[in-house]
Each structure stands twice: as structure tokens, then as C-alpha cells.
A = this chain, B = another copy of it.
Amino acid sequence: MRILHDVHDRDPAEGGLRGRKKRETRAALVAAAVRLAAEHGAENVTVDAISEAAGVSPRTFFNYFDSRDEAFVMVGAESSGRVRQAVLAAPADVPPLAALRDALAAELGEVEQRHELWRLHSEVLRRSPHLLARSIGAHVEDEFMLAETLAERIGAGSPLFTGDRLPFGTAEGELRRQALGLYPRLLAAVGATAVRVAVEHWCVRQDEATFEAVFRTVFDHLAAGLTEPVVPVVPADEA
């Protein structure tokens, strides 16, 4: 099922010493970047400082990221794959939107507790809206891979799904993108948007409602066709 595109298409789950060290270095760079940004403000953190904190040379930094800002934003890199896996694993009779909702909820629930790095990350994004914009754009690629997975889940039978990293921005990536239906694409994009809105809204009003409640409300709105709510959202009679 997997397609080898060229020499650079190595096994992403490489188990050898090489792959392990690469993952460690990437994680170390992200952690250093986020921690330094949380302390000094993102715009005051240089590539040299991040590299030194991670124990590599400044030149190596750019072997891992295309720009400095990317290091501040690549915190949820592994989440994308787990969400796609959960979408595929959902029972067959669950409608697509619900499958997506549950997959996202499960991932967000885990992520919320597991890594304390996420708190710092959201802190950094709040203090640097410039990075929030960057973060949204950075996940466009994830969004399209999710669309492929949803297409497979629905049974649109995309034979193009491979599970490997999408060569975003390449001619071949464009070809695969073309073959995708409109509905899965929309579902993936709206799902990502829903998560973003829920997170933003909750970050700003943490004391008014739990994240789960906000998240569920958002997807209720979507399932209701975005009709105007007659009662203010999250009414008291929910209990």
C-alpha cells in the first residue's frame, strides 16, 4: 500500500539509532523553543539560544525547521496521526461528524493532561498572536491528511491514502489533493476550525465552563446546521 516516492521517503517509524536520535533532537528543539518563549517572549528568543539549549549547532536547527517560528508551533506533531487512527477505528455505524468529534475529543483529553508543555505552548500563542496565525497555517497539511482519512472512512474509497507524510507543496501532493472529494475536505477543515474556536474560547473563559462542555457545544452547533440558538449556548438546564 505504501508508495515510495524517492530517496527521501524513509520509514518515518525508523527504529534504529538514527531515527531515534532525530526524534529526540526535534523534540529537544521544540521543548527548548517553547520553554524559552514562555519565559522571555517569543520575539526575544533567537535561533542561537534555542540551539544552545537543545545542545546542537544553530545550523542544525534549520535542518529540522524551515523557519524559527516553526519550532514554536510544532508541539502537536504526533496528535494528527492519532486522530486519523481513531477516525478509522470508530464503529461503522457512527456518522462521520460524530466519529471526527470523538476522535478529536479523545486526543484533546489525553493531550490536556499528558504533556505540561502544552500549557506553556498555549501561553506562548496567547502572548504572540503572530504565532497563533502561524500555527493555524502550519496545520493545513494535517488537515488535508485528515480529509484523506475521512474519505477512506466514509468509503469514498480514496486509493490514495498511504499513511505517510504528505509531500505538501509538491506537484505530486497537488495531484493527490485533486482526487479528493469536497465533503471530506470540508469536514476536515470545519473540524479543525471547530477545535480552534473551542480552544480559543475556552482559553479566554476558563472559569465559565470546562473545555469538554465548550467542545461539545461547538459540535452541537455544527450538527444543528449552525442555526441560531434560541437560548444562550451552554444553558443552565443542561444538568
Which residues of B lie under 8 Å from residue A130 when comparing CB positions?
Answer: 66, 169
Which residues of B lie under 8 Å from residue A236 when comparing CB positions?
Answer: none
Q: How large is the interface on A (under 10, 10 to 19, 20 to 34, 35 or more residues)?
A: 35 or more
Per DSSP, chain A at the interface is helix
Q: Contacts A154-B228, A178-B205, A186-B194 known; list 5 others, CB within 8 Å.
A: A97-B226, A134-B134, A178-B204, A182-B201, A192-B193
Please tell me if the beta carbons of B169 and A226 are within 8 angstroms of each other in the complex: no
- How many monomers of this protein are in the complex? 2
Q: Write out, one digit per residue, whether chain A residues 174-215 have a CB within 8 A of any chain B CB (1) or not (0).
A: 100110011101110110111011001100110000000010
Tell me the bound Cα distance from A178 to B208 in angstroms.
Answer: 12
- Residue with the highest number of chain B CB atoms closer than 10 Å, among A189, A205, A234: A189
Interchain nearest-CB distance for A85 vs B (Å): 20
Please tell me if the beta carbons of A182 and B227 are within 8 angstroms of each other in the complex: no
Q: Which of A17-25, A48-56, A217-225 contacts its partner?
A: A217-225
CB pairs A–B below 8 angstroms (27 shown): A95-B228, A97-B227, A128-B169, A129-B140, A129-B168, A129-B169, A130-B169, A133-B134, A133-B138, A134-B137, A135-B137, A136-B136, A136-B137, A177-B204, A182-B201, A182-B218, A182-B233, A183-B229, A185-B200, A185-B201, A186-B194, A186-B218, A186-B221, A186-B222, A186-B226, A193-B193, A222-B226
CB of A132 within 8 Å of the partner chain = yes
Please tell me if the beta carbons of B225 and A225 are within 8 angstroms of each other in the complex: yes
Please tell me if the beta carbons of B181 and A226 are within 8 angstroms of each other in the complex: no
Please tell me if the beta carbons of B185 and A197 are within 8 angstroms of each other in the complex: yes
CB of A96 within 8 Å of the partner chain = yes
Tell me the bound Cα distance from A225 to B220 in angstroms.
Answer: 9
Top 4 closest A-B pairs, CB basis? A133-B137, A129-B169, A137-B137, A193-B193
Please tell me if the beta carbons of A196 and B205 are within 8 angstroms of each other in the complex: no
